[in-house]
């Protein structure tokens, strides 16, 4: 009877999460059902997409992993600021930084093609591996690394001790970057090569027929889901440490070369922004012709903030009942797989669903939220796993409802992770161009889409001014997305 | 709190039906230039324009595909197409409603449909942009056919012929030369290492940066490079000799969408769009487009239209050659 009761309770608790993830995956399931009716695949650009993703991810892992290792093991002046400034590259897509870079007076004449595009995209996404490697260094057993410091030379210590200990971070960083690059279309367009994602976007836009895009969508889906499956193990190994205590490295003083290396990514961000500023100042009167209106500015900021808050609220509401269940791990994995699917494919799926049921076209926010819904679940799980189980057991002694207990005790403790997830969701939503171009209604616009439209033909000064506005608005969106959950949860402390 | 707010915003957006005063315009012209027209119209009429744009990589084809998909339940009132052929292809599909704007009476008849299903205005021409650091004036190609010679092997760029005005250019060659000769020409371009760029602006950037020596594009893209003071100059191809082919001249097209939800607002907007006033705005701006109304001054950085030999083509015939051109491009370039 107890077993049956336990199973029923687990089923009851997992139901919200299952409904949430099923709804999020519904558009993709619908697209796949179209494939089942007409099983055709087009892999003509898949190999290019894979080469682009693997090369870019390798560059990102090499640079980000190295910098993360340096920041995690060495005491570098201004380390926290340098890491934060490096992470700023994630606040906008690689193409945004590249457009600014080309306006900075740096010779870019020979930079084109797949290899160059992969190198540039990898460089701009290096902060993913940096942050993961940095997080992993905090989990390294202090005694093991100190022993290595005493007994091994620097090269051997890095090769035989540090890299193996950072392997989950480097592996998950590589795969997460590859997933993002498989869904990237702007860099291939700018560098003049095809990938599966560019084919999906152009074919769908050219025909506005989901059926025409399905043969390209299916192999791409296969690639991202495979990468997502491979990423689960290293990412969970990083997020869910098996034991606590005695971890974290005592940082030693960095050499000048190591300190200088940490300026690489902030330097790239600064150079790109200076390119926009330089272009903007090339003809100051053009400020007046800046194609930005109030409603575009407000909606461009409000949309990512709302998406972040809704995704976090829904993710937490669905994850709370199953937080102590064994099923939560599987559900978090499913959420991670949904996140691996590019937002543009979600957008196409929602359009297909709308057409099939003669429903009005959904706002872009639906596509964004359905893609990222798994992120707060994973963030919640990762943070909750670090809490001592006895803490919540003790809280059970207080005579309040389970929801009130979660609100009062659990959420403040997992707050920082959810705040980070909220910021990431806002950044991803703000950075999108593909979904906006497919799902916006006449009269609506978004800053990032406008920047791409302007970069086609507008004078340099307009592009420069817009780039700066886009960066400022992106920063505002991320800041607001963080302020919301922070205000709610930290107040509880 | 978040969920109701989210749903509220979504529902408000869904319920936000445009008023009958507003015209919904699907616009493949560059946003930067189109907004100047919309602002002028809104200031003059007090009515709103709700525009939907194409991305550079799917120019016009994206919007025309959307119009076809929405045929049973049209959402757009007006198509403002910067690509003449893609827009006219919609005429044969029954997507255009007849309307003859009085403001376009002075426009030459060849740029208008006698049945009022489309009206041309503010034309562009195809030009060659060359990098002055890499190409001497004496070396500049004089004909598009010169791009198949050894001198330009791997050193010239065109945009993807499936999209935008390059698709008009290619289809115009099919209409003028016939399928066999035009297909052979595309094959020669491919064999000579044509660099396929994402769009005209990408061609402009590649020429300006010196990644290629020359590139085909519209004159407005070229003018942007000149105004940005890049090391480039403009040449107009196929101008010399009595039998010269001429360069494609592509009017913008205004089309009233069949079954438009706001026909009165659409007609008022079309009246303004094809007027001499709108052409003047487009000529004076960085769009640098040639007015078709007699007596309206043309763009300052370009030769006057009466000194440009335009390719003599039937625009509807160009539109009808698009499928053959698309098929040839797919076979030859694998695009």
pLDDT bin (cut points 50, 70, 90) of residue B24 is very high
Residue A462 forms contact with B (CB below 8 Å): yes
| pLDDT reported for residue A107 | 58
pLDDT bin (cut points 50, 70, 90) of residue B290 is very high
Who wins on pLDDT, A354 or B113? B113
Residue A108 forms contact with B (CB below 8 Å): yes
Q: Which residues pair with B23 in a beta bridge?
A: B49
Residue A16 forms contact with B (CB below 8 Å): no
Measuring CA to CA, how many Å separate B147 from each of A357, B36, B152, B182, B190?
Answer: 51, 36, 6, 14, 10
| pLDDT reported for residue A213 | 84
| pLDDT reported for residue A224 | 94
For A308, the closest chain B residue by CA position comes to B2
Cβ neighbour number for residue A353 with a 10 Å cutoff? 19
Please say if the pLDDT value at position B3 is more than 60.
no
For A361, the closest chain B residue by CA position comes to B14
E strand or H helix at A485: helix A460-492
Task: Tell me whether residues A205 and B69 touch, CB distance under 8 A.
Answer: no
Distance from CA of A211 to the nearest CA of B (A): 12
Task: Tell me whether residues A208 and B202 touch, CB distance under 8 A.
Answer: no
Per-residue pLDDT reduced to its tens digit, B187-227: 999 999 998 887 788 899 889 888 899 999 999 889 888 88
Task: Tell me whether residues B3 and A313 touch, CB distance under 8 A.
Answer: yes
- Please, what are the averages of pLDDT over each run of 10 residues along chain A (493 residues)? 71 83 88 82 89 96 93 87 90 89 69 86 94 86 77 80 87 94 88 85 77 88 94 84 61 82 92 90 64 82 93 89 80 89 88 80 87 89 81 76 78 85 92 83 87 76 87 92 75 55
Nearest CB neighbour to B50, from listed A189, A190, A443:
A443
pLDDT bin (cut points 50, 70, 90) of residue B14 is very low
Nearest CB neighbour to A291, from listed B22, B31, B54:
B31
**What is the distance of C-alpha A285 from the center of its chain?**
37
Q: What average pLDDT does the segment B155-174 reach?
A: 89
Task: Tell me whether residues A313 and B13 touch, CB distance under 8 A.
Answer: no
Task: Tell me whether residues A462 and B206 touch, CB distance under 8 A.
Answer: no
Distance from CA of B241 to the nearest CA of A (A): 33
Please say if the pLDDT value at position B1 is more than 60.
no
Nearest CB neighbour to A205, from listed B52, B58, B195:
B58
Q: Are strands B156-159 and B214-218 parallel, antiparallel or unpaired?
A: parallel
Q: Under DSSP, is residue B113 helix (H, G, I), strand (E, B) or coil?
A: coil
Residue A212 forms contact with B (CB below 8 Å): no
Q: Any residues with CB less than 8 A from the CB of A220 and at least 6 apart, and which?
A: A46, A49, A182, A196, A197, A200, A342, A345
Task: Tell me whether residues B65 and A207 touch, CB distance under 8 A.
Answer: yes
Please say if the pLDDT value at position B278 is more than 70.
yes
- Which residues in chain A are contacts of B211 at CB distance < 8 A? 109-110, 112
Whether the full predicted model's pTM is greater than 0.90, yes or no, is no
Nearest CB neighbour to A454, from listed B32, B69, B334:
B32
For A433, the closest chain B residue by CA position comes to B55
Please say if the pLDDT value at position B4 is more than 60.
no
CA–CA distance, B67 with B52 (Å, rounded to integer): 12
Mutation choice for B interface testing from A352, A442, A443, A462 by most B CBs within 10 A:
A442
Q: What average pLDDT does the segment B16-32 reach?
A: 79
Nearest CB neighbour to B211, from listed A110, A433, A453:
A110
Cite the beta strand spans of B54-139 per DSSP E: 78-81, 96-97, 119-131
Mutation choice for A interface testing from B3, B6, B231 by most A CBs within 10 A:
B6
Residue with tokens 């499956």: A229
Would you say the ipTM is above 0.90?
Answer: no
Task: Tell me whether residues A442 and B51 touch, CB distance under 8 A.
Answer: yes
Residue A306 forms contact with B (CB below 8 Å): yes
| pLDDT reported for residue B11 | 44
Task: Tell me whether residues B13 and A110 touch, CB distance under 8 A.
Answer: no
- Please give the interface size between A and B, counted as residue pairs whose CB atoms are below 8 Å apart: 141
Distance from CA of B85 to the nearest CA of A (A): 15
Q: Are strands B249-257 and B119-131 parallel, antiparallel or unpaired?
A: antiparallel
For B205, the closest chain A residue by CA position comes to A109
Share of chain B above pLDDT 90, in %: 53
Mean pLDDT of chain B: 87
């Amino acid at each position: 009877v107890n077993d049956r009761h336990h199973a029923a309770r687990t089923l009851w608790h997992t139901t919200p999460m299952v409904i949430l993830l099923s709804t999020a995956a519904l558009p993709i399931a619908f697209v796949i059902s179209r494939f089942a009716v007409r099983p055709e695949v087009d892999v003509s650009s898949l190999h290019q997409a894979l080469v682009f993703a693997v090369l870019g991810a390798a560059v990102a892992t090499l640079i980000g992993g190295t910098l993360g290792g340096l920041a995690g093991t060495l005491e570098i002046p201004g380390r926290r600021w340098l890491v934060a400034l490096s992470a700023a590259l994630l606040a906008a897509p690689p193409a945004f930084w590249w457009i600014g870079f080309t306006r900075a007076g740096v010779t870019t004449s020979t930079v084109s093609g797949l290899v160059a595009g992969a190198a540039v995209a990898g460089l701009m996404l290096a902060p993913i591996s940096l942050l993961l490697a940095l997080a992993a260094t905090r989990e390294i057993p202090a005694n093991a690394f100190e022993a290595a410091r005493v007994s091994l030379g620097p090269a051997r210590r890095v090769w035989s001790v540090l890299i193996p200990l950072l392997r989950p971070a480097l592996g998950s960083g590589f795969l997460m970057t590859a997933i993002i690059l498989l869904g990237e279309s702007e860099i291939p367009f700018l560098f003049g090569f095809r990938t599966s994602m560019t084919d999906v976007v152009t074919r769908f836009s050219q025909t506005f027929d989901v059926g025409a895009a399905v043969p390209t969508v299916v192999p791409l889906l296969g690639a991202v889901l495979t990468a997502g499956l491979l990423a689960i193990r290293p990412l969970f190994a990083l997020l869910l440490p098996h034991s606590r205590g005695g971890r974290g490295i005592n940082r030693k003083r960095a050499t000048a070369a190591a300190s200088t290396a940490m300026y690489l990514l902030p330097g790239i961000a600064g150079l790109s922004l200076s390119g926009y500023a330089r272009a903007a100042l090339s003809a100051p009167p053009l400020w007046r012709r800046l194609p930005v209106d109030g409603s575009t500015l407000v909606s461009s900021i409000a949309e990512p903030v709302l998406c972040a808050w809704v995704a976090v609220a829904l993710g937490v509401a669905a994850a709370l009942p199953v937080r102590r269940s064994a099923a939560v791990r599987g559900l978090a994995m499913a959420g991670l797989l949904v996140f691996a699917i590019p937002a543009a494919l979600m957008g196409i799926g929602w359009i297909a669903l709308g057409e099939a049921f003669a429903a009005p076209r959904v706002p872009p926010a639906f596509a964004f939220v359905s893609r990222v819904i798994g992120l707060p679940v994973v963030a919640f799980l990762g943070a909750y796993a670090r809490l001592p189980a006895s803490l919540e057991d003790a809280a059970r002694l207080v005579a309040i409802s389970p929801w009130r207990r979660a609100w009062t005790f659990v959420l403040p403790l997992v707050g920082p992770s959810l705040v980070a997830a909220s910021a990431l969701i806002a950044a991803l939503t703000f950075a999108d161009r593909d979904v906006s171009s497919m799902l916006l209604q006449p009269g609506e616009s978004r800053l990032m889409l406008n920047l791409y439209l302007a970069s086609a033909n507008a004078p340099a000064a307009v592009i420069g001014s817009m780039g700066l506005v886009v960066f400022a608005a992106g920063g505002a969106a991320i800041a607001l997305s963080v302020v919301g959950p922070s205000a709610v949860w930290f107040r509880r402390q | 709190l978040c969920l109701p707010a989210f749903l509220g915003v979504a529902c408000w957006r869904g319920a936000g039906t445009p008023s009958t005063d507003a015209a919904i315009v699907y616009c493949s012209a560059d946003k930067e230039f189109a907004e100047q027209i919309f602002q002028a119209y809104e200031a003059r009429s007090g009515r709103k324009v709700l525009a939907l744009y194409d991305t550079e990589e799917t120019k016009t084809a994206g919007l025309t595909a959307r119009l076809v998909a929405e045929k049973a339940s049209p959402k757009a009132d007006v198509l403002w197409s910067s690509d003449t052929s893609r827009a006219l292809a919609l005429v044969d599909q029954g997507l255009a409603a007849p309307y003859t704007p009085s403001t376009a009476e002075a426009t030459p008849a060849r740029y208008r449909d006698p049945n009022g299903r489309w009206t041309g205005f503010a034309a562009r021409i195809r030009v060659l942009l060359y990098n002055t650091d890499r190409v001497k004036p004496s070396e500049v190609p004089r004909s598009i056919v010169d791009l198949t010679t050894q001198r330009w092997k791997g050193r010239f760029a065109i945009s993807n012929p499936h999209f935008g005005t390059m698709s008009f250019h290619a289809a115009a060659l099919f209409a003028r030369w016939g399928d066999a000769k035009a297909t052979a020409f595309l094959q020669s371009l491919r064999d000579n290492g044509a660099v396929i760029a994402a769009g005209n602006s990408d061609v402009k950037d590649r020429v300006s940066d010196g990644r290629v020596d020359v590139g085909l594009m519209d004159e407005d893209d070229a003018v942007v490079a000149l105004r940005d003071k890049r090391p480039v100059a403009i040449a107009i191809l196929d101008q010399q000799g009595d039998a010269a082919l001429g360069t494609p001249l592509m009017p913008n097209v205004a089309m009233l969408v069949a079954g438009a939800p706001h026909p009165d607002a659409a007609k008022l907007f079309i009246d303004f769009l094809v007027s001499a006033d709108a052409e003047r705005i487009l000529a004076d701006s960085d769009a640098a487009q040639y007015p078709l109304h007699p007596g309206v001054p043309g763009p300052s950085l370009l030769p006057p239209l009466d000194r440009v030999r335009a390719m003599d083509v039937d625009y509807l015939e160009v539109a009808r050659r698009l499928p053959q051109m698309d098929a040839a491009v797919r076979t030859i370039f694998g695009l």
